[in-house]
């Protein structure tokens, strides 16, 4: 709870601008707005640096469109992850300016492009089957206002491809490494850079990859010491943390 | 491979300072020194920002002491994690200035204290049983040169304890959250701050915590969007990544 | 086996109202009625306080309708969980008064509304993706005769939303907490109330949530001491136990 | 946050009894007391109905004794679970009135016996190997002030033993069923009573019981509808919830 | 390798009825017939007491029909498990006398009904959702020549239903118990009879039943001592072993 | 419940030999005797064909001795599985005739040797590391009165060893196959005999055998159709079921 | 990095054929060619002995065709695994000479048949349900240039089928054993031959086979000492390693 | 079964050198010798190329010594894996020439050194904690007669260490890669060589490495196509397969 806010309320109370009941109500409902089927978290951007983003899986196209419309009307930039084209069509009908990133499965609408950071995030992927997740990470980071450099298809089966791009990777402020199968790329990159590495294990594969568990365990057990990990296929989450790191460096 | 280094070598070669064979040898063995039973990574600090640290589990006290002594003789600062008191006694016999952090199970020896950063890392823990891991994180971060603030025993069973310390947490550059059992603390903190949160799941508990898997899955599935995770009980790894974030903000 | 019932049978036997064979038959088949493909448990409500409820998954619409019709003809109130609209259409054709709760995926038919309890159950959910399970819990509790208060979408990513509703939650006799992802809400609520909390882990999510295992383990390892747990997505079971608690308090 | 408490503080503030700074401090630190290595939750009993209990596993005897002594000096009743006899000796040295329940592995000290409830909890166990957990449940419930009836060694391998004790079980307000191996007892009891059943899966067994997972899954998948479950071997947690149910029925 | 067969071959060899090469060939290919895409095990019935049965899952209707036709032409009785109606249509087109057991998902064709044993197998099931597996067991046993008594829907949620049928169960030579969810029925029956009990765990259920793992672990950990277990949903395998037991008692 | 017993009680009641209260008491406590810390199942042999056997793991030597002494005084034959030599010493002090089978970790005491069956059980093991489990099976079967033939160390790494002993195996009434590692022996034997095969997976091994899970899954998925399985290392349970099969064939 | 290549470059540099910048560029991009959405590994055959093969799962038919076309234009032989007929149609439209192996789910195009080795690989399978994987192995090995002998449907349920074919198996240079269910065939073959055995666990089966985990664990725990294992259903990978073995023996 | 052997026996039979009974006995017991507690596989070397090796885990020192002595007396070379020093002392007492490789935990005794192959096996390890397994592999390969080159401590955290040794690795006939933690080294090496790679996952590590499962899954899911895998920590098995490959190349 914000001490300054309480100070301000007490100030108003002691000057008779607020009644006792009003102070009680204010204190207990700071930053909250009750809707029909949802309780909107109106100050999430202020609090966590990242606005609410619609997780579309399990929602109907109409539901996604309704939420997107309401957000856009309040001037909140709109992003919907894990969105199908059918969902996009529904959103596009109410927000004509919305854009669909097919590979990333993401719908984006921003009234004005965010000012892009000078510092950049390197999104590095092991193979082409990891692209939906890599692109979700890249598009999310760009939506939040970060500059992104994509270095794709440089997995360890042909490791010289990675070395060829190392200078671009080393110049980044943070690296997001997306890899399925055995996920070795996160460790290899982590052993070569002096910046934070966020690993995103991918579910692409079969058999004993167990839907991404193989890459997840690889990254959690990385022998490189500066690597942390997010959920399987969670390109969105990796981008959020990468953005927070870049944002703090900006100033 | 460092392009500048190759340029420099070619320069010397074209000026006759190096013979062809010497250039070939230099290029193929940059930053490497072969020992008896180990291949020392002499430029790990330059490359990754973090020096080699001794992982003591499974080593004999004598082995730990031997490695520590060799490193200290080269002027490399020494840290050994997961070290027992018996290991410390062996190290202390050869490096009288070494210090043992009992709770953190860490041996540390630094010729000169590193210059501490102004920015700080908040190490937040859920309970007292998480202290060995929390302290491993804190001691590691301090060893690397970061300022640390400890906020311990503020788990969600008594969540007002956390709120009382939120200002200190919000002032940090990055938060390391250490929690066992259900690991809910990482999500709660992640929903309240606009800085990166690194979760460290702890193995403390019994039954269906499965040696820390419960907290690990909680943190990987955090509903807060800026949370990443390291291996169970890996306070060391979390501190490394947190340090890289603070370091990049410094300069 | 009911001692009073045996007493009564012996009474009748000693007064010649029942023959020996009749007593033997009665004693060995108390409360049971054999049908074609099922053995109906006619006194389940008397015995356990909760009538038989149709678990529709894996049944054909016709089968659901047949069972519902037979139960309604005996005057037993009808509830079918995990029911599709197609199943409802089949039921509705034979029981015109039946109602379909789409979100809860439940068919309900009660000749007369049960008398609603004064005490109430708080059904608290973390997010909108948990609604099918939350509603299954709420509808089940109401079907059994409990008053229900719904407090939805108050997960820990924006924890002030929960605090705003705490008074309503604290006034309940028992709390059912429905949460997917990391399931942290059960612990947070459990640390704030002095009434029983029943956690329902949800399968909503992806990757390392493993179909609800993440939330299940979180709730089983809750650091709050008054929390028990039911199966993943089992809103029905949580409501049954919550109802038994409320019922015992009533009388 | 307690609205009445805020009202009271504002009252004092408006009457000049408290300065603005004092109100701010009070509001932000209600019910909390900072110690050296721990943050004591001083109003846990008021908030959750259950005082802090010492989880001894992983602590030294000295640490257990220190915490116990501090609590007893504040007049808080002391209970330590998972305690060894060595721990008890340390506690007994500083709290001579402390009692050790060997089978339950629990240390208890209460200045005055709590008033025992009229309603009772039935603790039902499947076999003698479940006794440490059954007794932990029974002793905890008695410590909190509940009356307990023990019905032990009535597992389904000889199910008539259970039937012989059903009247005592049916007279309870809530049943705690403790069972290892296949944990079938929880379902059997749940199908015979109209009161809440809390299952405690036990780790006793070998091979494919996987340290209690077998019984845990059995209880989570119980075909009886009023059964909820706590962590493996968590007799303490089951007793806490059972006590909350009995307490609410009392008054 | 059959010593008598070798004796007989040597007899023929010493009497000049077989050449040396013929003896070598015979010895090395006893009981085997090579086809195009399969190696038919022509003496499986002689060797194991049970003929080859077609496991249809993953085969096309045409493939199932081809194999069935070839077997029926050799006079081998035909059974196909896990067969769809589409598969049956294909079989029926080539073997008009074939019968489809829809609930059991089994195709059967026998030129002449096998002589049914006097001794019988009791197939006991917990609920109606277990019927596909129970019927697979019952139909398989009847196909092999065993008499079967079906006792369905007598699970432990209403355990008096089981007791009412115990005499029929106790009169069997072996009991096959089919149960999903927590699978407690196998232990309860095992504790009441002095004949072998074969448990068949069922996959019916959701959440933490993990596709039948819950019932599988329950049955493996049964506290009753005469219970063995087959694979999840393997009604066929349980019937085979039950038949071998009945067969050995017959003769 | 035994219908004959009820008949007999009613007979006595109608002839005035029993009072009504006595009949009620008798009916509700048939075959049961309450002790201090245990509820003895006095008619388990009558009911299930197998007497109570002491599972010693987790008991103190004194407890094992106490139970053994009490059973021997009632004339019940005594067997204790998973017993250490220390436990045997305690038992031997009170039952001088008790015998310790070291390899099988079993204590046995029988006043008179049971009459051994003509039919025999073949106990087949894959390797010498499976001997504790093989011997537990063999000793248990002999204790119950079955004749046993041991065929040890004939695993598939040298499969001709098995073939050399096939005649002895084929002559048995039932085969118990004990195997660790990949447990292939159960399938190989199951494909060669026309009698029931009970597989006992062993925990011997390391790494990805996961304490016997490897062999357990192998046996559950056996391609041979007459194989059932018991818990990992459960030689006792396999012997019990094998004995019930032999017993039924005898009479 | 290839020392000879560096020597050659330095030679050219010292003779003025290359400028310093050109040497730097060459050294840092040896064997690599950047495309739009992929980074082609142009010298994989030279480096690893096996060309790039298209893993089709998760790709659109158009994507598969595009990659295949590009490769064929460069004269690289084309193989696509896990390909549907729809994918083949797309490939066939652009490469008329392409062939579809339906059972193996593989598309193959080779301008000229590779010279087939004299040494051969034995591909041995347990049953007909393993054929897609067996054929993937066989077709891959033939594509790479190895001679293959297929020995199918010789699983341990009828082990004499295997013995009949042992001479052909023993004559191979390496054996690939494909088996689902309990995967016992790999151990049996491993115990009979003195050549390397590569096991391929198959996912065919149900219940506790857990999608091939059962066979995977069996093969990893093989009691035969010369057996190694690849991923579940990975016929391709087994063929690659088998080919490398044969290739090294050739020359 | 060896056709030549049968031919020879028939030859002797037809010439009257053997009686019919003798032929039958010979045929059914080829290559087998029955001992007290074990069935010795006397022709394992002839059959599989690798002699019996003693797996010492779970055996007493005396048992290991007994087996070793018996083997040495028959002139069979002796190797015991997973042996403690205490076991070695027992062996040394009866075989004075036996040698103990402490790091490899292996006892070896060979009357005459085997002729070492010209071709060599490269044993490559990621770190020093993998040495017991690496050395088990190296010592085993040398015992069998292969030349071994050790390349230790070249894991991906400092990948230039690996590149420095690539020429030695590339010159091998087969590579054994030993790695714990995330096991990435197997993929990296597999992507750089054109010879077979056998991965040995190591259990060294903690938390989510789950006793080596992390490295096991990594290696099974390797993106490099010529990699196969053995059980966790199974240096012995990897060496056996590697030896078979080298052996076949020799001649």
Is chain D in touch with chain H: ≥3 Cβ pairs within 8 A?
A: no
Tell me the pLDDT band of B218, cut-offs 50, 70 and 90: very high
Tokens of A246: 């870049």
Residue F1 has pLDDT above 50, yes or no: no
Per cent of chain B over pLDDT 70 is 89
Interface C–E counts its CB contacts (< 8 A) at 53
F104 by DSSP, 3-state: which?
coil
Contact H195 G1 (CB under 8 A): no
Instruction: Please check the confidence at residue B250 and state whether its pLDDT lies above 90.
Output: no
Whole-angstrom Cα distance, residue B218 to residue C219?
10
- Asked whether residue H248 carries a pLDDT value surpassing 90, the answer given is no
Q: Nearest residue on chain D to F47, judged by CA atoms?
A: D158
Of H168, H175, H177, the closest CA to residue H199 belongs to H177
Please check whether residue E108 is in contact with residue E98, taking contact to mean a CB–CB distance below 8 angstroms.
yes
Predicted confidence at residue E104, as pLDDT, reads: 95
Quote the Cα angle for E18-E21-E27, to 5°. Answer: 80
pLDDT in tens, C121-168: 999 999 888 999 999 999 999 999 999 999 998 988 888 889 889 999
pLDDT-derived band at G12 (thresholds 50, 70, 90) equals: confident
Q: Give DSSP secondary structure letters for D174-191.
A: EEEEEE-TT-HHHHHHHT
pLDDT digits (tens, 9 = 90+) for E204-239: 899 999 999 999 999 999 988 889 999 999 999 999
pLDDT tens per residue across span B139-167: 999 999 999 999 998 988 888 889 889 99
Distance, in Å, from the CA atom of F220 to the CA atom of F207, rounded to the nearest integer, reads: 20
Return the top range by mean pLDDT from G44-48, G164-168, H18-22: G164-168
* CB–CB contact D37 B152 (8 Å): yes
Cα-to-chain-centroid distance, residue G81 = 9
CB H224 within 8 A of CB H196: no
* Percent helix, strand and coil across chain B, each to the nearest 5: 45, 15, 35
Nearest chain G residue to A162 by CA distance is G39
Helix (H, G, I), strand (E, B) or coil at D232: coil
| Confidence check: pLDDT of A200 > 60 | yes
Which residues of C make CB contacts under 8 Å with D? 1, 3, 46-50, 53, 163, 166-167, 173, 190-198, 216, 220-222, 224-232, 236-238, 240-241, 244-245, 248-249
Res E127 pLDDT > 90? no
**For position C8, what pLDDT does the model report?**
76
- Cα separation, H225 vs G79, whole angstroms: 14
pLDDT for the residue A38: 60
The angle formed by the CA atoms of residues D32, D37 and D39, to the nearest 5 degrees, is 15
Q: Is the dihedral of CA D191, D195, D196, D198 positive or negative?
A: negative
- Sign of torsion over alpha carbons D10, D11, D14, D18: negative
Cα torsion angle, B52, B56, B59, B63, sign:
positive
Query: Taking residues B215-233, what's their average pLDDT?
Result: 94
Residues in chain D with pLDDT values less than 50: 1
Residue G1 pLDDT: 45
C242 vs B18 pLDDT, higher one: C242
Q: Do residues C206 and A57 make contact, with C-beta atoms less than 8 angstroms apart?
A: yes
The answer to whether the beta carbons of residues B23 and B9 sit under 8 Å apart is yes
Q: Phi and psi (nearest 5°) for H179?
A: -155, 140
Beta bridge partners of B244: none
- CB contacts < 8 Å between C and F, how many? 37
Assign C223 to helix, strand or coil: coil
- CB-CB contact of B228 with A230 (8 Å): yes
Mean pLDDT estimate for chain A = 88
| Tally: H helices and E strands in chain E | 11, 11
Count of C-beta atoms within a 10 Å radius of residue D171: 13
pLDDT at residue C237, as a whole number = 96
Which residues 6+ apart lie within 8 Å of A63 measured at CB?
none
Question: What is the predicted pLDDT for the residue at A1?
Answer: 45
**pLDDT at position G56 over 50:** yes
Q: Look at residue A5 and tell me whether its pLDDT is greater than 70.
A: no
Q: Which of A184, A162, A176 is nearest to G39 (CA)?
A: A162
Instruction: Specify the pLDDT at position F128.
Output: 82
Alpha-carbon gap, residue B196 to H124, rounded angstroms: 38
C contact chains, 3+ CB pairs < 8 A: A, B, D, E, F
pLDDT number for residue A195: 94
Here the tokens at position B33 are 């020194």
Q: Does A24 contact D13 at a Cβ distance shorter than 8 Å? A: no
Dig out the tokens for G140 from the structure. Answer: 């891959």
Q: Distance between CA D179 and CA G227 in Å, rounded? A: 42
Q: Is the pLDDT of residue C36 over 60?
A: no
Query: Which of A193, A228, A249 has the CB atom closest to B229's CB atom?
Result: A228
pLDDT of residue H1: 45
What pLDDT score does A142 carry? 96
Interface residue ranges in chain D relative to chain A, Cβ cutoff 8 Å: 1, 3, 6-7, 10-11, 13-14, 20, 23-24, 27-28
pLDDT score for E26: 65
Residue range G102-123, pLDDT digits in tens? 999 999 999 888 788 889 999 9
**According to the model, what pLDDT value does residue C214 have?**
96
Average pLDDT over residues F107-120: 87
Measured CB to CB, residues of chain H less than 8 Å from chain E are 1, 3, 6-7, 10-11, 13-14, 20, 23-24, 27-28
H204-241 pLDDT, tens per residue? 899 999 999 999 999 999 988 889 999 999 999 999 99
The interface predicted TM-score (ipTM) is 0.86
Residues of B in contact with H105 (CB under 8 A): none
What b/e readout covers B76-105, taking b as 16+ CB neighbours within 10 angstroms? bbbbbbbbbeebbebbbeebeebebbeebb
Q: Do F191 and G157 touch (CB under 8 A)?
A: yes
Q: What is the pLDDT of residue D7?
A: 73
Alpha-helical regions (H) of chain E: 3-14, 20-28, 44-48, 61-73, 85-94, 131-144, 160-164, 166-170, 185-190, 213-220, 235-250
Q: Out of H160, H204, H208, whose CB is closest to B32?
A: H160
Whether E1 has a pLDDT exceeding 50, the answer reads no
Query: What is the arithmetic mean of pLDDT over F87-112?
Result: 95
Cα–Cα dist F49/B8, whole Å: 88
C-alpha to C-alpha distance for C162 and D53, rounded to whole angstroms: 26
- Mean local confidence (pLDDT), F191-203: 95
Whether residue B122 contacts residue B168, with contact meaning beta carbons closer than 8 Å, is answered with yes
Instruction: Determine the residue among G136, G174, G225, G251 to mutate to test chain H binding: the one whose Cβ has the most chain H Cβ atoms within 10 Å.
Output: G225
Could E24 and H13 be called an inter-chain contact, meaning their C-beta atoms sit closer than 8 Å? no
Closest CA to B79 of B59, B115, B103, B105: B105
Residues of B in contact with D58 (CB under 8 A): 129, 204
């Amino acid at each position: 709870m914000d001490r300054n806010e309480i100070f301000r309320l007490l100030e108003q109370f002691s000057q008779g601008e607020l009644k006792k009941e009003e102070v009680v109500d204010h204190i207990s409902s700071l930053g909250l707005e009750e809707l029909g089927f949802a309780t909107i978290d109106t100050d999430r951007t202020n609090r966590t640096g990242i606005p609410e983003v619609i997780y579309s899986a399990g929602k109907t196209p109409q539901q996604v469109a309704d939420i997107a419309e309401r957000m856009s009307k309040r001037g909140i930039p709109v992003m919907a992850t894990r969105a199908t084209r059918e969902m996009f069509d529904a959103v596009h009908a109410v927000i004509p300016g919305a854009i669909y990133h097919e590979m990333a499965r993401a719908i984006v609408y921003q009234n004005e492009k965010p000012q892009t950071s000078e510092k950049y995030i390197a999104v590095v992927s092991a193979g082409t089957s990891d692209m939906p997740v890599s692109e979700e990470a890249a598009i999310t980071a760009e939506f939040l206002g970060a500059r992104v450099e994509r270095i794709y298809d440089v997995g360890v089966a042909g490791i010289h491809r990675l070395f060829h791009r190392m200078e671009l990777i080393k110049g980044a402020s943070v690296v997001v490494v997306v890899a399925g199968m055995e996920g070795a790329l996160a460790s290899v990159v982590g052993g070569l850079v002096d910046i934070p590495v966020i690993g995103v294990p991918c579910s692409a594969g079969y058999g004993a990859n167990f839907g991404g568990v193989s890459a997840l365990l690889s990254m959690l057990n990385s022998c490189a010491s500066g690597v942390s990990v997010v959920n399987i296929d969670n390109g969105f989450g990796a981008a959020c943390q990468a953005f927070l790191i870049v944002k703090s460096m900006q100033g």
